[in-house]
Structure 1
Amino acid sequence: MDFSFGAEDEALRGRARAWLAEHLVGPYEEAIGLGGPGSEHEGVGARRAWERELGRGGWIGQGWEAEGGPGGAYGNRRLSLTGQVVWAEEYAAARAPARVGHIGENLLAPTLIAYGSPEQRARFLPGIARGEELWCQGYSEPGAGSDLAGIRTTAVRDPADGLYRVTGQKIWTSLAQDADWCFVLARTEAGSRRHRGLSFLLVRMDQPGKVEVRPIRQMSGTSEFNEVFFDGALAAEVVGGEGNGWSVAMGLLALERGVSTLVQQIGFAAELQRVVAAYVAAGAGDPVLRERLVRQWAELRTMRWNALRTLGSRDGDPGAPSVAKLLWGGWHRRLGELAVAVRGAVATAGPADWAPEVPYELGLDEEQRLFLFTRADTIYGGSDEIQRNIIAERVLGLPKESR
């Protein structure tokens, strides 16, 4: 398979690089390098404004499979797959602010295009493309994380006004504190169990007294994950029809890891470079650490080629998202361990050891925060155990696990 970039891609690279250099100024320049997993508390206001700047520049929704116009009916400029990779590479190279609109652009939008009604696409996609409406995902619950089919959040439709009343609790909801909307998987059929009777609802977050967001403080000191409580929250939109929520939810998860996987890997490469620099600064004398760093580099290159192979496959691969999650989750966790190993004993000193007045999350350095946050990489987004089950049952055809 040919992964090379053509003349059109290289021309796009020049335009993307020039646009980023021209627009990453003023308040956006101050937000360069801010945000991302473990650091979502950084520069939220500037990053939200940057999202609207990206929308005005036509850089959101490039991969949406929508009809009409040069960029599709709902997105901005329409780019080829290699064009999307080019933009992602230049965005990462410029250290542009971490996206706060990722969930809307890369998860909800493709799902609406695949399963939503024309009215739903017309209502919600333009706001995402303009960078004006931010989304979060309401899937996991305290008793239904990896086992998503066990959710207990309910939604009852009122025949008088046609609205659903959503009641229940979601957990590990990324960016919920800043989101305008949440797509919620809820049980709409009373007495239903497991995968049956679920619906995919769109819920407005700004409903005082009906939606409450409580940040979850992590051991890194930050709080990008949240608990969300729904107490009769109103929802007018159901995607894919009532009772079809499981199919829609699984379709979304299959769409979750596309070009964004390559963006993630570019960020990983920058983190690896910092760890290598720390190893060199420490004298580069430990051959065991050197071998581990070389292995990290080789595995990252392998992940890149695997991601490109998967993106370029016309037939699709039902196990590709699970394989990708297993690869990057374990890789990133090992990088966090290396980040503190190359620095030795000094990496174990936290802010309380030298400056008790400094807030914990501000006292941690990048390597310490990387180590602490990556402990969760093999759990969130679907634990390793669940990913292996999916590969075994849905790809290899092995007997299902007894329940």
Structure 2
Amino acid sequence: MDFTMGPSAQALRGELRGLVAEHVPPGFLGAFTDDPADLEVAQSFCRLLAARGLLCLAWPERYGGRGASVWEQTVVREEMWAHHEPRGAQYMGVNWVGPTIMRHGTPEQRRRHLPPIARGEAIWCQGFSEPDAGSDLAAVRTAARRDGDGDGWRVSGQKIWTSYAAMAQWCFLLARTSTGDKKQHGLTVFLVPMADPAVEVRPIPSMMGPHHLNEVFFSDLRVTDADVLGNVDEGWAVVQEVLAFERVGIARYARCERLLRAAPSVLGDRWAGLPAELRGRWARMLTHCRRARLLAYQVVSTQSRGTVRPGDAAAYRIAVTRLDQDSAEVLMEIVASAAPDGAEARRFRLQVEDHWRYSRASTVASGSVEMQQILLSRALLAS
């Protein structure tokens, strides 16, 4: 297995790392901190990537991409997540909102939504989870009802844990449009503007910082058939495709591996003084990084052929979220045990702490580990 993906991928990695080094401050820990300047760094970096054709690398040229392979897009995904995602929230639009609109959208929806994503301008949020329908996504109760004028709908309900809702211009919203024998039937995806007065966002304070967790309330929001993505009542098929792409869309293993590999050089002579058991766990985490990467590449391989198998995506998700948490624990113990000094060491400690905070949510974000285990079990039984 060639983990370098060949010379062209290595050159792309070098280009991306050079851009990060030149345009992203050394202490950058992501766009969603208490400092608004961090968000502007991300927005500016997105525009830079877009201008160089690197933001939507694998998109078709007619939609603002370069027609590159999904493997090249994987390189971008890995390098961005390894360096605390300097694209900010744009990965959502790039990884799955845009591709889903390409596959299921009308010509007008493609014209309206794809160019702003490709330029790095539009921020999207995902209106899926609800207070009583988190992992059981098909149980959503946010309702869209015909308002009697032919093509109009009225949407009312509540979403929760909605990342970036306070800054997003658009929401990829799942709502119930009818009831049937199965709860998966009668669901529809709407593309709705967040600036509408009928949409209210309430931030949820957390240790992850601002913008990550929000409640969103829809109070008689008016939308039309032009805002429906795909077919009415058939949104579940669209959502299943979205979740498969989303679950492999964040290369969590890349940040884990970068921080783990940096630890010995940052600690210097203090590395040898760490307990042998802790250094052994550190080495085991590196092997788990490789395992998660292999599982991710298996999904990318099927994706390159135009499909994503739910079982493969679930297996990857289980491995990478557990890696996220286990590696964070090991890294926290390392920095606590060695107490490194100096500017580089302080930055490393802050990166590790940020990694630990993010890892707390990883086994519930995009579907809990328990739900991933159910998906994987079903896939194995069906094979």
Shift of 1:224: 1.2
Name the counterpart of 2:285.
Answer: 296
Name the counterpart of 1:35.
Answer: 30
Name the counterpart of 2:239.
Answer: 249
Shift of 1:8: 4.6
- Letter of the 1:287 partner, please give it: A
Name the counterpart of 2:324.
Answer: 332
- Residue 107 (structure 1) aligned to one of 74, 96, 99: 96
Alignment identity in percent?
35
Name the counterpart of 1:195.
Answer: 184
Query: Which deviates further from its counterpart, 141-150 or 32-41?
Result: 32-41
Name the counterpart of 1:48.
Answer: 43
Say if 1:81 and 1:225 are closer, same or farther in 2 by CA, change over 3 A: same
Say if 1:288 and 1:108 are closer, same or farther in 2 by CA, change over 3 A: same
1:150·1:193 contact (CA, 8 Å) conserved in 2?
A: no
Name the counterpart of 1:307.
Answer: 296
Name the counterpart of 2:314.
Answer: 322
Name the counterpart of 1:342.
Answer: 334
Name the counterpart of 1:359.
Answer: none
Query: Which deviates further from its counterpart, 215-224 or 161-170?
Result: 215-224
Segments of 5+ residues of structure 2 without an aligned counterpart are 340-348
Name the counterpart of 2:261.
Answer: 273
Name the counterpart of 1:143.
Answer: 132
Within a 5 Å distance, the mapping from 1:103-252 to structure 2 comes to 103-160=92-149, 162-189=151-178, 194-208=183-197, 210-220=198-208, 222-236=210-224, 237-252=227-242
Shift of 1:159: 3.5
State the secondary structure of the residue aligned to 1:342: helix
* TM-align CA RMSD: 3.2
Name the counterpart of 1:354.
Answer: none
Please give the alpha-carbon distance, in whole angstroms, between the structure 2 residues aligned to 1:226 and 1:131.
23
Say if 1:381 and 1:74 are closer, same or farther in 2 by CA, change over 3 A: same
Name the counterpart of 1:61.
Answer: 56
Name the counterpart of 1:350.
Answer: none
Q: Which has the higher helix share?
A: 2
Segments of 5+ residues of structure 1 without an aligned counterpart are 348-363, 399-403
Name the counterpart of 1:392.
Answer: 377
Say if 1:191 and 1:319 are closer, same or farther in 2 by CA, change over 3 A: closer
Shift of 1:284: 3.0
Query: Taking structure 1 as the reference length, what is the TM-score of the superposition?
Result: 0.80
2:274·2:337 contact (CA, 8 Å) conserved in 1?
A: no
1:350-400 residue CA offsets vs partner (Å, 9 max, x unmatched): xxxxxxxxxxxxxx94434433432222112111110011111233239xx
Shift of 1:53: 2.6
Say if 1:391 and 1:82 are closer, same or farther in 2 by CA, change over 3 A: closer
2:90·2:123 contact (CA, 8 Å) conserved in 1?
A: yes
Shift of 1:118: 2.2
Please give the alpha-carbon distance, in whole angstroms, between the structure 2 residues aligned to 1:201 and 1:195.
16
2:145·2:154 contact (CA, 8 Å) conserved in 1?
A: yes
Say if 1:11 and 1:97 are closer, same or farther in 2 by CA, change over 3 A: closer
Shift of 1:41: 7.2
- Letter of the 2:91 partner, please give it: H
1:141·1:151 contact (CA, 8 Å) conserved in 2?
A: yes
Query: Which deviates further from its counterpart, 143-152 or 191-200?
Result: 191-200
Please give the alpha-carbon distance, in whole angstroms, between the structure 2 residues aligned to 1:322 and 1:41.
35
State the secondary structure of the residue aligned to 1:136: strand
State the secondary structure of the residue aligned to 1:227: strand
1:261·1:307 contact (CA, 8 Å) conserved in 2?
A: no
Please give the alpha-carbon distance, in whole angstroms, between the structure 2 residues aligned to 1:393 and 1:89.
29
1:40·1:224 contact (CA, 8 Å) conserved in 2?
A: no
Query: Taking structure 2 as the reference length, what is the TM-score of the superposition?
Result: 0.84
1:258-291 residue CA offsets vs partner (Å, 9 max, x unmatched): 4x444x3222222223555459636533111111
State the secondary structure of the residue aligned to 2:294: helix
Shift of 1:35: 0.6
1:282·1:343 contact (CA, 8 Å) conserved in 2?
A: no
